[in-house]
Amino acid sequence: MKHALSIFGFTILVSAFYWYVSLWVPQKRTEPPEDIAISQDLTTDEMVAIGEEIVAGKGTCLTCHTMGDHSTTLRFPDLDNIGAVAATRVEGQDDVAYLAESMYDPNAYVVPGFVAGMPLVARPPIALTDDEILTVIAYLQSLGGTPTVTMATTLEGQGQSVAAEQAAPVAAGGNRDAETLFTTYLCNTCHSLDGSPLAGPSLQGVGGRLSQAEIYESILDPDATIAEGFAAATGTMGTLLNAVGFSEQVSAQELQSLVEYLSGL
């Protein structure tokens, strides 16, 4: 028993010693990255500021890239003068095009002396949105140059990010069937299929009453023609569809399948 106790004491002593060692090193708690809201009417300066934050934060660019380190043993290109050299890297590409390519397709061109290996920042886990990439480009341009990019600039390669993909799942094959769409976008809350009137007219037999073109119109511009007896509901359907993200998210293919489904009723 005596031994067991002294061994146990020894265990506590050694563990405490290692705890002390772990307290001796710098203590830093890392918080998860903040999401930065980006509006469409940012000024250039604001874009630069947000881009700088993303470069240091969510973009995790500075994990690999340095700013102002001119030693010869760098493993990744230094960025402190990128705004000046971006336009000179690839023949025929201006600085915006070059910076866009180096983010959407980073290994298409690798700076001589370095090894390809940069991740696709538009894809997870970094998953920058197109807007975020625009601000990053603005910031990079400001390093040694003058930002020319605006929130309205379109870039080669946009639409790759996961956010874009979720907004438009069509891009990935668009295979949600019409019945799913019918419930996903809450059509069924106002339109019954069994003839009973809800907030909107029942869709029972709608294919017999309306042509496909008319069904298209009823969905895309609901207030163009109001069904008899539902004048009070004018404007409701358009508002609701916008609220559930219908117009941004449904692809042409899906819309077509939905219309075909309805005209078959």
Partner 1 sequence: MIRPSGLIAPFPKTPRAGMPMIRRCCATMGRVLLIGLVVGGAMALLCDPAFAAPQEADPDYRTLPFISSRVAIWIIAELHLMFAAFVLAVPMFALIIEYIGYKTGDKRFDQLAYDFTKLLSVSFSFTATLGALLTFGLIVLYPALTKYLVKIFSWTFLPYVLLFFFEAVFLYAYYYGWGKFSPRVHLFLGLMLNIVGTAIMFIANAWLTFMNTPSGIDELGNLTSIWDAINNYIWMPINIHRLIANMAFGGAIGAAYGAYKFLGARTLEEKAHYDWMGYIGNFIAICALLPLPFAGYWLGVEIYAYDQSLGITLMGGTFSWLFIIQAVLIGNLFLAANYYLWLSMGRIAGAERYRKFIKYLLAVITLCFIVWATPHSLVATVEEARAMGGSHHPILNVLGVMSAKNTAVNLLILTTYVSFLLYRRANKDATVSWAKTGNLVQFGIFAVVVIFVVFLGVYGYFVDAQTRIGLSQPQVFSVLFAMVAVTVIDIFLFRGAKKRGDIAWGKIPARAQYALFFLAITFAWLMGLMGYVRAGMRQHWHVYGVVRDTSVDAFTPTLGFAGLVVSITVIIFFLFIAVVFFLSGLSSQKNWVASPKRTRRWFRRAKPADELDAGTLSSDAS
Partner 2 sequence: MNLLVLLVIVAALAALQLVATRWVTVNRLAWMAVWWVAIYLGLAYGINPPLPSSIIVLFMAIVTLALAVYLSADSDELASAVQTVTAFIVEKRFRVALLTVLAVLPLLVALKVYTNLSNPPQPPSSSRTIHPPPPASIIFDGTAIDLATANNPYRELEHTDPAAFAQHVENGRRVYFENCFYCHGDNMQGAGMFAHGYDPIPANFNDPTTIAMLQESYLFWRIAKGAPGLPSESTPWSSAMPAWENFLTEEEIWDVIIFLYEFTGYEPRAQGMPH
Residues making contact with partner 1 (CB under 8 A): 3-4, 7-8, 10-12, 14-16, 18-19, 21-23, 25-35, 60, 63-64, 73, 75, 115, 117-119, 123-127, 162-163, 165-166
How does DSSP classify residue 161?
S
Residue 31 interacting partner from partner 1, partner 2, none (CB closer than 5 to 8 Å by kind)? partner 1
> Residue 244's closest CA among 176, 171, 184?
184
CA dist., res. 146 & res. 124, Å (int):
30
45 binds partner 2 (CB under 8 A): yes
How far apart CA 62 and CA 92 sit, in angstroms, is 28
The stretch near partner 2 (CB under 8 A) out of 88-96, 141-149, 218-226, 230-238 is 141-149
- C-alpha 124/C-alpha 207 separation (Å) is 43
Residue placing its CB nearer to partner 2 in the complex, 56 or 170: 56
Question: Min. distance of Cβ 127 from partner 1 in angstroms?
Answer: 6
Judged by CB under 8 A, does residue 105 bind partner 2?
Answer: no
- Of 124 and 208, CB closest to partner 1: 124
Distance CA 217, CA 113 (A): 58
**CA triplet 48, 53, 89: central angle to 5 degrees?**
60
| Nearest distance from C-beta of residue 218 to partner 1, angstroms | 30
Integer distance in angstroms from the first to the last C-alpha of the chain? Answer: 84
Piece in contact with partner 2 (CB under 8 A), picked from 6-14, 44-52, 185-193, 234-242: 44-52
Helices 95-104 and 130-142, axial angle in degrees (round to 10)? 130
The distance of closest approach from Cβ of residue 128 to partner 1 in the complex, given in angstroms and rounded to an integer, is 11
Least distance to partner 2 from the beta carbon of 2, Å?
A: 20
* Residue 129 structure tokens: 């949105």
**Would the CA dihedral through 178, 183, 186, 192 be positive or negative?**
positive
Within 10 angstroms of residue 99's Cβ, the number of other Cβ atoms is 26
Residue 3 site contact among partner 2, partner 1, none (CB < 5 to 8 Å, cut-off depends on kind) = partner 1
In the 8-state DSSP scheme, what is residue 75? S
Residue 164 Cβ vs partner 1, minimum distance, rounded to whole Å = 10
> In this complex, which beta carbon is closest to partner 1, that of residue 44 or of residue 251?
251
Interface residues toward partner 2, by CB under 8 A: 24, 26, 44-45, 48, 56, 62, 67-68, 80-81, 83-84, 142-146
